[in-house]
Amino acid sequence: MLMTSPLPADDALVAPLAGTSADAAPAQRYRAVRAYSAALVEGLSDADATVQSMDDASPAKWHLAHTAWFFEEFVLAGARPAYRSVDARYRYLFNSYYESVGPRHPRPRRGLLTRPSLADVLRYRAAVDAAMEKLLAGPLPGATLRLIELGLQHEMQHQELLLTDLLHLFAQNPLRPAYREAPDPPPAAPAPPLAWIGHAGGRCRIGADTGADAKDGAGASGFAFDSEGPRHEVLLRPFRLAARPVSNAEWSEFIADGGYRRPTLWLADGWKAVQAEGWTAPLYWEDEAGEAYREDAGAPRAMTLFGVQALDPAAPVAHLSYFEADAYARWAGKRLPTEFEWEIAARDLPVRGNFADSGALRPLAAPQPSGGVPGQMYGDVWEWTASPFVAYPGFRPAGGAVGEYNGKFMCNQFVLRGGSCATPTGHLRPSYRNFFYPQQRWQFAGLRLAEDAS
């Protein structure tokens, strides 16, 4: 047996972010978030961390380096005028898309960088951490603390991408490597019947308080990206929300009913994608023989972070495009919720769920929620909403290069809500707006149905 073995699940990976709430001291929080990134690449080879499997994905090594660069560029360079970058060339190599900062290595070529090695990059991170520790040892103005928090939130986003990009890479390999040792399969149990939670609608407050005043009161209101605000009111009509996401078993029914063969179920652009890409099932689904999953293929299997596994019929379906989520809702005679509906329903729930540092690293089935509230709003799968990612009324991007963070992507993407099994604990909040293009499928993205309450 020649192959490198996957790492067993261990304590290093489980719940390392326990101390990372916004209440933690900045230095403690910095260490915890940064350590989690390093934990994620344990067991990966230099090659695993280097290869880029598609333009949308980045190498694990690049995620590690880019998040270090972010602290160099936006925190250290500003707060420590004498600070010298570990390697001046990294400013070019590890800038992602900040036009204000200068030219950068083209995204589709990130996987051609076999040097610096993974070990070099870990040394780079250590050097940045040392400089940051010095900075964090002293008193810091609020603006710097806010940039550090932005850097940590940014790193948590890349932790999720690191996992989903790695899954995509391993899925391209006919050997189907496992990132971690497969856990015991969950006990077989059907998903609870689909219940519906009603909401009266009306005039509702939406979004985070990201105004000028809020900035000084960040401790109270917590962190939010600029695109989550300004807080504002919207008018909602009465609606009902499904008590759980759509399950793998339900998705199999959609397939069996010709869901991927009937153009009238799809948006025009979605049907083009179905035909051009030959979609017949969610990304990563396959049959017993490892071939693309088709209508008559029986129990679905799928590539996961544990290699190819049988899918739990009761668990939320994942790795869907917006087009698929939208088509399913049409087939079911329902619709996707708007992001406002989702937020109103989630606002008062605790931000708990199956996040990455639980160690499950895949969507899990859950029992019927009690108390008349929807279940699994956080974790498991990101939920596609019907809402294009656009500016809230009065939106103004932050000044300087960090203003390129969200605003320039407000076109052709749709909002997803709630986080997934690859999102680190402490990263989510009710107002959190994730966004992807409607054809993208490599995230842990699923859906929850909604309907008008007549």
In the complex with a copy of itself, the residue whose CB is nearer, 46 or 216, is 46
Rounded to the nearest whole angstrom, what is the least distance from the CB of residue 407 to a copy of itself in the complex?
Answer: 8
- Which residues are CB-contacts of 450 (< 8 A; sequence separation ≥ 6)? 239, 240, 241, 242, 334, 335, 336, 337, 338, 341
In the complex with a copy of itself, the residue whose CB is nearer, 331 or 409, is 409
In the complex with a copy of itself, the residue whose CB is nearer, 198 or 393, is 393
3-state secondary structure labels for all residues of the chain: CCCCCCECCCCCCCCCCCCCCCCCCHHHHHHHHHHHHHHHCCCCCCCCCCCCCCCCCCCHHHHHHHHHHHHHHHHHHHHCCCCCCCCCCHHHHCCCCCCCCCCCCCHHHHHHCCCCCHHHHHHHHHHHHHHHHHHHHCCCCHHHHHHHHHHHHHHHHHHHHHHHHHHHHHHCCCCCCCCECCCCCCCCCCCCCCCEEEECCEEEEECCCCCHHHHHCHHHHCCCCHHHCCCEEEEECCEEEECCCCEHHHHHHHHHCCCCCCHHHCCHHHHHHHHHHCCCCCCCEECCCCCECCCCCCCCEEEEECEEEECCCCCECCCCCHHHHHHHHHHCCCECCCHHHHHHHHCCCCCCCECHHHCCCCCCCCCCCCCCCCCCCCECCEEEEEEECCCCCCCCCCCCHHHHCCHHHCCCCEEEECCCCCCCCCCCCCCCCEEECCCCCCCCEECCCEEECC
Cα–Cα dist 282/308, whole Å: 14
Rounded to the nearest whole angstrom, what is the least distance from the CB of residue 234 to a copy of itself in the complex?
Answer: 6
In the complex with a copy of itself, the residue whose CB is nearer, 215 or 335, is 335
In the complex with a copy of itself, the residue whose CB is nearer, 161 or 364, is 161
In the complex with a copy of itself, the residue whose CB is nearer, 108 or 190, is 108
What is the distance between the terminal CA atoms of the chain, rounded to a whole angstrom? 62
Rounded to the nearest whole angstrom, what is the least distance from the CB of residue 127 to a copy of itself in the complex?
Answer: 9
Rounded to the nearest whole angstrom, what is the least distance from the CB of residue 412 to a copy of itself in the complex?
Answer: 5
What are the tokens at 32? 């915890």
Rounded to the nearest whole angstrom, what is the least distance from the CB of residue 233 to a copy of itself in the complex?
Answer: 6
Rounded to the nearest whole angstrom, what is the least distance from the CB of residue 299 to a copy of itself in the complex?
Answer: 24
In the complex with a copy of itself, the residue whose CB is nearer, 26 or 87, is 87
In the complex with a copy of itself, the residue whose CB is nearer, 4 or 28, is 4
Rounded to the nearest whole angstrom, what is the least distance from the CB of residue 304 to a copy of itself in the complex?
Answer: 16
Rounded to the nearest whole angstrom, what is the least distance from the CB of residue 283 to a copy of itself in the complex?
Answer: 16
Length of the chain: 454
In the complex with a copy of itself, the residue whose CB is nearer, 122 or 351, is 122
In the complex with a copy of itself, the residue whose CB is nearer, 91 or 146, is 91
In the complex with a copy of itself, the residue whose CB is nearer, 260 or 323, is 323
Cis amide bond preceding 174, omega within 30: no
Rounded to the nearest whole angstrom, what is the least distance from the CB of residue 42 to a copy of itself in the complex?
Answer: 15
Number of Cβ within 10 Å of residue 149's Cβ equals 18
In the complex with a copy of itself, the residue whose CB is nearer, 2 or 137, is 2
Rounded to the nearest whole angstrom, what is the least distance from the CB of residue 375 to a copy of itself in the complex?
Answer: 25
Rounded to the nearest whole angstrom, what is the least distance from the CB of residue 40 to a copy of itself in the complex?
Answer: 16
Rounded to the nearest whole angstrom, what is the least distance from the CB of residue 111 to a copy of itself in the complex?
Answer: 6
Q: Do 179 and 168 form a contact (C-beta atoms < 8 A)?
A: no
